[in-house]
Amino acid sequence: MLELLKNLAAWLTSSAQWSGPEGIATRVLEHLEYSVLATLAAAVIALPVGLLIGHTGRGAFLAVNLASFGRALPTVGLVTLVFLAGGLSVWPVYVSLVALAVPVIITNTYAGMAAVDPEVKDAAKGVGLRGRQILWQVEIPLALPLIMTGVRLATVQVVATATIAAYVSFGGLGRYVFDGLAQRDLVQVLGGAVLVAVLAVAADLALGGLTRLLFRGRPAAAR
């Protein structure tokens, strides 16, 4: 066990391991590319839908059920399916990562919008704000903390799951995990796993910092 940890530390810190087209630095960048693009695409799809459902109050049933459907959908199965249907391209990776992130963002956005005090919305209407103004000036600012929670959760899950890119022969940190499993090289597998975990935690902390920056100067209750 101790021997393994020593080997792992050596693997993680050797400079040869970090450089080059197969090095850790390249793999981290690839991993980030898949994760960032997938999360952005998911946000572009999910945020308007979540806001619309929250603003109009219609389709809440759909949102709740979509969430549990999304949680139940096995990502490995989805990526395999798209891969078999579409052949060798990077699409299966993005399709399954986006499918993973969309439900999380939609439900949290909807939850944030639903938690806005109806009296506040009434008051906004009372002082003459129109529907769109209420959405942008009242509802979204109040719902933003929960919306950001959704984006954060989705990002962490996407970073953690982007290892599947390697499953369908692409890069990213999953390369180490799958190659290591195939070569029975536990050190490499563990190295990859540790790097993914660190990246996921770092992404979570970065978005947490961003959220705090966005809400600087707001009363603590609104956070």
Partner 1 sequence: MTIEWGWFPDHTGELVRLTADHLATAVPAVLFGLLIALPLAVLAHRVRPLRGFVLGASNILYTIPSLAFFVLLLPVTGLTRTTAITGLTAYTLVVLVRNTVEGLDAVPARVREASRAMGTSPLRTLLTVELPLALPVIMAGVRVATVMSISLVSVASYIGYGGLGQLFTDGFQRNFPTPVIAGVALTLLLALVADAVLVSVQWLCTPWLRGASGPRRPKLRKRA
Task: Tell which one of 10, 44, 76, 222 touches partner 1 (CB under 8 A).
Answer: 76
Tell me the torsion sign for CA atoms 177, 192, 74, 83: negative
Which amino acid belongs to residue 17? Q
Task: Tell which one of 69, 115, 206, 218 touches partner 1 (CB under 8 A).
Answer: 69
Which is nearest to 103 in space by CA: 42, 40, 36? 42
165 binds partner 1 (CB under 8 A): no
Tell me the chain's radius of gyration from C-alpha atoms.
21
Given the complex with partner 1, which of 50 and 174 has the nearer CB atom? 174
- Report yes or no: 79 and 168 within 8 Å, Cβ to Cβ: yes
Helices (H), 87-185: 91-114, 118-126, 131-133, 140-161, 164-167, 174-183
Retrieve residue 128's tokens: 């003459």
The end-to-end CA distance of the chain, in Å, is: 43
Given the complex with partner 1, which of 138 and 200 has the nearer CB atom? 200
The pattern of x and - marking residues 185 through 204 that bind partner 1 according to CB under 8 A reads -x--xx-xxx-xx--xx--x
Residue at token pair 């959760």: 153
Task: Tell which one of 160, 179, 185, 215 touches partner 1 (CB under 8 A).
Answer: 160
90 binds partner 1 (CB under 8 A): no
- Report yes or no: 67 and 103 within 8 Å, Cβ to Cβ: yes
181 binds partner 1 (CB under 8 A): yes
C-alpha–C-alpha distance, residues 45 and 79, integer Å: 19
24 binds partner 1 (CB under 8 A): no
84 binds partner 1 (CB under 8 A): yes
Task: Tell which one of 20, 48, 74, 209 touches partner 1 (CB under 8 A).
Answer: 74
- What is the nearest approach in angstroms of partner 1 to the Cβ of residue 9? 14
Which stretch in 42-50, 79-87, 126-134, 139-147 sits in contact with partner 1 by CB under 8 A? 79-87
Binding site for partner 1 (CB under 8 A): 1, 4, 68-69, 71-78, 80-81, 83-85, 156, 159-161, 163, 167, 174, 177, 181, 186, 189-190, 192-194, 196-197, 200-201, 204
